[in-house]
């Protein structure tokens, strides 16, 4: 399965009010769902960011790794996917390799791919079409008031809404302070420019 986590999804009824796009729980929600899959199915875990349970691999190398090592029975987590497969333009070789050989073949390899992005429309359309589940997390204070600040220091609950296929009520409630222990929320993830040397 391919799972996408977004700060905004055009036309989504859960996207009401003054909700933060940044810092709204995308990576936290993605990490928790991937962690559940990792535990329940005894899968290997690979990510482009540091977690307590995955092997960290640069974004550019994840697709190659899956193909070259014939990775199977795994959970793949990619944060800030728009940096790698942007809707405004991407290297066609990269696009073909990742979508055609990794994403499209993931079911046969028993590989679940989890990714996040600020905006749904920032992701290349070929990946959006392949995405089986689209989620929209919303951040709330413990008193259930919506939080609109991306760097709010209060404690939060993340309500995870499923947009596609649509579920009216949140599918999960997450305590950010507890779930956040699974990864470093301050890590900065970048992608190397095409042709750049390491």
pLDDT at 190 over 70: no
- Separation CA 168–CA 165 (nearest Å): 10
The predicted-structure confidence for 115-158, as pLDDT tens digits, reads as follows 999 888 888 888 898 899 999 999 999 999 988 888 888 999 99
Any domain includes 99: yes
Ramachandran angles phi, psi of 129, nearest 5°: -65, -35
Which structure tokens are listed for 49? Answer: 């960011």
**For residue 195, is it within any domain?**
no
Q: What is the structure's pLDDT at 188?
A: 67
**Domain-located, residue 192:** no
Q: Is residue 197 part of a domain?
A: no
Q: List residues bridging with 46 in a β-sheet.
A: 55, 76
Indicate whether 193 belongs to any domain.
Answer: no
Q: What is the CA radius of gyration of the chain?
A: 16
Number of structural domains found in the chain: 1
Alpha helix stretches (DSSP H) within the chain: 26-40, 59-68, 92-95, 106-109, 125-130, 176-179
Quote the tokens at residue 59: 């974004």
What is the reported pLDDT for 109?
85
Calpha distance 101→117 (Å, rounded): 21
24 secondary structure, DSSP code: S
DSSP state of 193: P
pLDDT digit string (tens) for 23-47?
889 999 999 999 999 998 888 999 9
pLDDT in tens, 78-94: 999 888 876 666 667 77
CATH code of the domain in which 127 resides: 3.40.50
- Where do we find the tokens 């960290």? 56
Q: Is the pLDDT of residue 196 over 60?
A: no
Q: What pTM, to 2 d.p., does this model score?
A: 0.87
Residues 6+ positions from 100 with CB-CB distance below 8 Å? none
Would 198 be classed as within a structural domain? no
Q: Could you give the CA distance from residue 198 to residue 192 in angstroms, rounded to a whole number?
A: 8
Average pLDDT for residues 154-176, to the nearest whole number? 94
Is residue 131 domain-resident? yes
- Name the more confident of 190 and 98: 98
Query: 129 is in which domain, residue-wise?
Result: 2-182
Is position 8 within any domain? Answer: yes
């Amino acid at each position: 399965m391919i799972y996408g986590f977004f700060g905004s999804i055009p036309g989504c009824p859960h996207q009401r009010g003054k909700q933060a796009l940044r810092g709204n729980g995308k990576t936290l929600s993605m990490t928790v769902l991937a962690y559940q899959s990792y535990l329940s199915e005894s899968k290997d875990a690979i990510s482009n960011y540091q977690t307590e349970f995955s092997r960290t691999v640069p974004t550019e190398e994840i697709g190659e790794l899956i193909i070259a090592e014939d990775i199977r029975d795994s959970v793949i987590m990619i944060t800030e996917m728009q940096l790698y497969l942007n809707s405004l333009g991407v290297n066609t070789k990269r696009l073909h390799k990742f979508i055609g050989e990794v994403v499209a073949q993931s079911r046969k390899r028993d590989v679940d791919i989890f990714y996040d992005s600020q905006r749904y429309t920032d992701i290349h359309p070929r990946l959006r079409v392949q995405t089986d589940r689209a989620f929209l997390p919303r951040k709330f204070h413990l008193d259930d008031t919506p939080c609109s600040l991306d760097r709010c220091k209060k404690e939060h609950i993340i309500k995870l809404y499923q947009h596609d296929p649509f579920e009216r009520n949140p599918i999960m409630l997450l305590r950010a302070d507890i779930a956040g222990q699974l990864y470093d929320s301050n890590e900065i993830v970048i992608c190397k420019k095409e042709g750049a040397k390491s």
